[in-house]
Structure 1
Amino acid sequence: MAVIFLIAAVDSGFQGAIMAPTEILARQHFKRISGWLSALGVPVHLLTGSLPDPQREGILANIASGEPCIVVGTHALIQKTVRFGGLAAVVVDEQHRFGVLQRGALTAKGSHPHVLVMTATPIPRTLTLSVYGDLAFSVIDELPPGRTPTETRYLRDPDDPRLARFIANETAQGRRVYWVCPVIEESDKLPLMPVIRRHETLSKRFPGEKVGILHGQLPPEERQSTMERFVSGELSILVSTTVVEVGVDVRDATVMVIEDAHRFGLSQLHQLRGRVGRGEVGGFCFLVGKPGTEDGRARIEAMRTSSDGFEIAERDLALRGPGEICGVRQHGITDFKVADLVKDRDLLEEAREDAFTLVGSDPVLSGYPDLRREVFRKLGTKLKLAGTA
């Protein structure tokens, strides 16, 4: 759907842009989109922070000229040096990974472009805008044909021999395993297993397998090379941070181990679980850890008992709060004084419809001076953020 949306802009003589949160995902999108559209002669450019300057300058010139094209990129798309000559369609992939100001910065590079935001897991802000703002949404609430839900299990001990045997059995059949840790290096403040040490222990535990490591501090070229080796099967186990959380598509990956799982948010856990079971063989997700808080135990239980992203989002909403409606916070204590977005959804939906009707008939609230004054008193300059998807 996103590619059709972008093609429509190019077919009308304009430009389209898709922004992804990581270079790995941006490169994956670029490879697929350029492959699909090469026969149609649609120019597709990749813009990331690691591009060599000469190549980058050439792409920037093409974009600024207004050439009808599709630009795939990371946060590099919103840098000041990037000027679009005719941006009419904006796609933000994995929108929960971007702040509202970042999404607004890309939209501002066009003259009121059409905007499509996508995420596999609705998060509190998405739910809030769906109820309270002008974000229209479509729901894909079923798995692709042939896919089966990933089975989720909970273990307290990452060194549980049952887990080691399970991984050995999967890799023996040519399947791939993700092992995700919350931090890169050891810290005196947080007693968490770091990626670097877990890579060492797994390399010793599975001496017959090639174990790779992936995290954000590695050079972009090394990250890309490691991911390609994992996709090809040269690496059978990949120890990583949440850099693999979004969009990475490895059809032979069947096992996701998330260490210290209670330290992750529900949307992160759901996204990570979605990295496995993407082929013909079902996936398995192991949540490992010893949660010491009620919230931590609630997140583990939510993941263990549900694979429905919208149900998980509702639980996340109850745990984290919807975020300031027109502000830059994505989650936290709501600025509603009375309303509860979980319990009062029907009432809020009715209020939303009334607000649309009122603004439709009197956009500047000239007939309601007291209401207008109160809106500006409470929201002020934040009003311009209210419509940012």
Structure 2
Amino acid sequence: MVDELSTIDLADPGLHADGDPHAVWRILRERSPVHWQPVSRPGLPADLGFWAVTRYPDVARVLAEHESFSSEQGTLLNLLGRGDPASGQQLAATDPPRHDRMRAPLYRAMNARPVEAHAGRIRAGVTELLAPGAGGEQFDLAAALTGLPLVAIGPLLGLPAGDWPELSRLAMMCTAEDDPDYQLPAGSASTLDQAHRALFGYFSEVVRQRTRSPGDDLVSLLLGIRTDGERARPGAVVSNCYSLLLGASVTLPHVPATALVELAGTDRYADWADRPDLLDPGVEEALRWASPASHFMRVTRRPVSLHGRTIPAGAAVVAWLGAANRDPAVFADPDAFDIRRRPNRHLAFGSGRHYCIGSHLARLTLRLLFAELFRMFRSVAVVGEPVRVRSTFLAGIKRLPVAGQPRRER
């Protein structure tokens, strides 16, 4: 009989698109919470692999304990064995204390009060995205929501609306390079390379424009940040613009789509729609349920002991957020979508010093999106088979045909 653990391949994007990663994570939490996963890739070392952690306390520790787990050698599986060219320049790929000095000004610009000032504009953008189904027509909700990240982050970065569709496409190429809808004919590595070149080229031009003529946008703010007495280099600003775009693109479209698959056609949709007081806890549960950023990677600075295993220095450790957010030791009845769940200390935005800097913007945008859905539609039905994104990183849905029942007052 083949050992169940030996057949697991967490690096296979097919598992996340066509399989059931939650079933696999359940096995790992119970039987191998610190699991060695070999990875075979052309042109990379034969002994390539990573340690996978799936229990909530271990995932939280790996993400928060920067003294033992570094972000500077790559934070995503697609960088395994390659290193990260943005190391020390991009917030996500920089360790404290330098990370903290870089982060502080940007965090002040993106905390709750400043982003709330953009609520009216985001609400208008949300209404426009949902307009194709406003009269009860069938429409692809997942396709419509691909525009949501730029509705939220585009104006903050000062990016022209005409550029948003292409930026959305390039962001998907960077996070779902194995998906046939985004992969180029030359393969995933070429897809990543060309998307990176295009986005970095685009933001380089934006940075040149802001250097000549600063504005009140985040790009101009980044250009003015001083770290260790020096202004940010243009390459560092470009890298952080790229990171902000990808962060929004990962979270915003896929949380509502994944939640709607669970709620559509049931009385739980109406239950939530009729309870405005549960909008905020419902959004938190949708974040836990979807866990759209499926993993983050770290590299050990020194030998680390986890569950009786000693992980050597220099080893890749992948923390699976989707697994941690269904850990029954932390969440009662974790496989139930419960808008009344309290407390809900999910890790969808990470943990520790690298906690998502755009979390306030993401929460605001999701609150406005769900509020508009509930205002427009008495109920929503899924009228076609949902299609998931083929990616080890992005846990999301790329096609979701739905039809909503408009409220009579519309």
Common topology (TM > 0.5): no
TM-score after normalising by structure 2: 0.25
TM-score, L = length of structure 1: 0.26
* Greater fraction helix: 2
